[in-house]
Structure 1
C-alpha cells in the first residue's frame, strides 16, 4: 500500500500582490500525475489547503478540479484535515458529497471523536488502514480559560489538551484494529507546531510563534502511530529525527526566504505495519530569487539572469553605502526587455535614513502586526524585563482573534 503525504498548499496565496494561480495549477497537475504514475492508494493532506478562510472562485476551482482527477485515478482514498488558515465550515460544507467519492474531510474537531478515526478499505472491501485524522486544534477546542491564569498555566493546559486529544483518538484506533482482527497500520495526522521545528523568515509561521506558546514535544504522540503526517511548518523535516514522524512542508515557496529550499512530498509504503519513506522532489514551477548587495552586485546578477532569458521573480535588497533614491527606476530599466519581474525592492540605506528621522515617513502598510507592537513598546519606554510577558500576551490575543475570524466564516 502506497500513501502520499502533503500539506500547506495555501492555494490562493499572493506574493507582494502577485497572483500565483498558474503555479498552484501546475503543482496540482504534477501531483495528480505523480499519484497516477506511482500508483498511490491513499492521499493525505495535512492542512492549509487554502491560504485564507474565504478562498476565491479560482482557488476553489483548482481544488475541486484536482479532486476530480484523483477520483478518476488509482487512488482509492483522500483524507484532508483543516489547517489554521482553513475555514472549518467551508471545508466541511461538501463533506457528505465528497465522502461518497471516498474523500474524507475533517474541518474541525467534534464531540464525537469517532469521526476522526477512519477505517479505509481496499478494493475487496477489506480494512487496510486506520487514519487518525486530527485537524488543527484551536485553543477553545482543548482548553478552558480561567481568570488569573499565568502564561505557564495556559501553556500547560494547551499542551495537555493536545496530548489528551491524540491519546483519545489513538485509543479508538486501537479498538478498531482489535475489532477488525488484523494487524493493519495506524497513521496519525495533525496540523501544529512541534518543539524544535524549523521555520524561515517570512513564512508566516515563525511570526505566529514568537514565544513558546503551542509548541508540543514529540512525546505527546501515541506510540501506536506507524506514521505521523504533519502540516503547518513549511520546511520539509523529521520530528525529533524520527523517520516516521514528518512534516511534508509546503510544495511551493511561500516567500523569498524559502526560494532555495528543495520542496518535496512524502511517499510512504507499508508492508503490514512496517513503513518505508521516500521523498519525491517537487519541481520549481516559478523561480524566485533574492538578490542582495551593493549596486554593482545587484546589476551584475540581473545581467546574468537576463543573459539566460530567466523569467524569475526577484526580491532586491540594496545594502550599498551609496544613497540611491532612484533605485526602482534603475532596476526597471535593466529588466524592461526581459521576462524578469521585480516584486519587491528594499532599499536598506534609505530605510535607515528614514528611521533616523523618527520614522516620519513610515506607514502601517510597511509594518506587520508584530513590528507595530514593538513600536508601541518602544514609544512607551517599556522596560526590557517586562517585554517577554507582554509579547506573549499580545501573541495569544492575536492568535485568538485570528481563530475567531476563521471560525466565523
Structure 2
C-alpha cells in the first residue's frame, strides 16, 4: 500500500465520531466565567486544561498581548539568529532567569522546541542519553534526534538508572532526561535521587518542568519544591500551561545558554516567538511572581477533587500536583465515560494508548469555582450507574471491540467495530 493509500484506509476516527465516542479535537469557541468554555454551542466546565493559574483570559495578559501586536506587529518575521530577535524576547529571558534562580534563559517559539533544543542541541555523536520511559513525547523525539545513543530506564527507577549509567561504554557525554511532573500520572520525579545518581556518574540532568513551573513552590517549580534548583544544570519549560501563552524556555548556566543560541536547531532555523505570545508570557510571569496564591489555589482544588472522586469509588492515585488521572478501565469504558460526562456539561481528557494506559486525565485550576467543582463531582456521581451497566461479551472485552479507539493500526472492519460497540453500550 502506498503512503497516501495508507492514509485513506484510516477510518477509526470516522467510526468513533459516528458513535459519538471520539474524544479528540473538541472545537472550543469561547470562554465563560471560571473554567467554563463553549464547545459545540454549549457551555461546559473544562477539567483538562493546562491553564493552571487561570491566566489565559486574564485582562492583564490579553492586553499585554494586544499592546505587543500594536507595537511590534503580528510576527517576528525571521529567525532570532538573523533578524527575528526582539528586545521583548530578551526581557522575558532576563525575568525568567531571575524568577527561577538560574544564570540565564533562552526563549523558543514552542515548549516542544525548547525540550528539543535543549537535548538535541547539547548532545552529539558518541554521547549517551538516558530517558525515563514516561517522559514527554517531545523529550523522546529530542533524544532520538540528538545523534547520541538512546537508552531507556523504567519510570522513576533511579536504581536502574544508576546501573545503566555504570554500564555505559566509552568516554562520551552522559545526559539524563526526565519530567519534573509527569503529564499522564501527575506524579513528581524523585529529584533528590536523580541529582545524587547524576552527580555520582558525571551525567548532565535535564528536567522538563512543563507542569510544575508556575504552580509548585510559589511558582518556582519542581526543582525549587525540592530545594535543588542549583543542582539541576538544565531546566526546560513551556508557556502553554501556567504562563497562558505559547512558547517555551531553557534555563541554565550562561555557557550552556550561549552554546544553545548557536546549536539549538529549533531556535536557529525557526522564526522567533510572536510578539503577542512573548508579551503574554512575560505578563503572566509577573503575575505568577506577584500572586503566588494562584498556584496554591490550583493545588487545593486538585486535592479536593482527588478526595471527592475517591469517595465516589473511582480509582485515583495520590498526588500533589494539579493533574488528577481517573482510572475508568479499558479504552471503551474510558470513551463512554468521557461522553457521559460531556453530556452532563463536563469536559475531561480521554487518554488512550499508546500515549498512556487508558484513563480520564483531569486537571484542576485556580479558576475553578466551588460551584463548578461541586457540579463536576455531581457529574462523576451521576455516571457511575450507566458505566456499571456496560454489558460485556461472554468472553470479555476483546481487541476487535476496542482497537479502533487505539492509535496503532489494525485490520478490523468497520462492521466489526460498530457491532461490537453497539453491543457494549447500555
**TM-score, length basis structure 1:** 0.28
RCO greater where, 1 or 2, for CA within 8 Å and sep 6 or more? 2
More helix by share: 2
More strand by share: 1
**TM-score, length basis structure 2:** 0.28
